Amino acid sequence: MARSPSTLIYYVLEAKWWKERIGRRELDVFKTNIERKSKNTLGLYISTNGFTSDALAIYSLSTPFITMDGSDLMAVLDRRIRLDELMTPKRKHASQTGHCYLPVSEIFSRTE
């Protein structure tokens, strides 16, 4: 069965391999970029060293993007979880809670 173009999810991806954690300022800029896109666009922000607690707190009630940290990325690269299996619960979590972050360890603990 073919999917309608209106049901497709398009992603805007930003990835950082910075020494420090990503802060609110970087996420605010990313949010603005996402909001300029169509309604069926979702952001994916990858930061190998994670995010500051204040950045995650700001995007814990409403978010146009989801986040991945180094643990999430390594779980996919190590083939402990497929990318689509990781993204689905992350999208669902963001939709239900408004929070941009769901660690892969929590996803694993739900499936055990």
Residues 49/81, Cβ–Cβ less than 8 Å? no
Q: What is the pLDDT of residue 25?
A: 97
What's the CA gap between 61 and 70, in Å, rounded?
23
Q: Judge whether residue 4 has pLDDT over 60.
A: no
Length of the chain: 112
Residue 6 confidence (pLDDT): 56
**Average pLDDT in the chain:** 91
Distance between CA atoms of 54 and 50, rounded to whole angstroms? 12
**Residues 15-52: pLDDT tens digits?**
999 999 999 999 999 999 999 988 888 999 999 999 99
Q: How far apart are CA 51 and CA 49, in angstroms?
A: 7
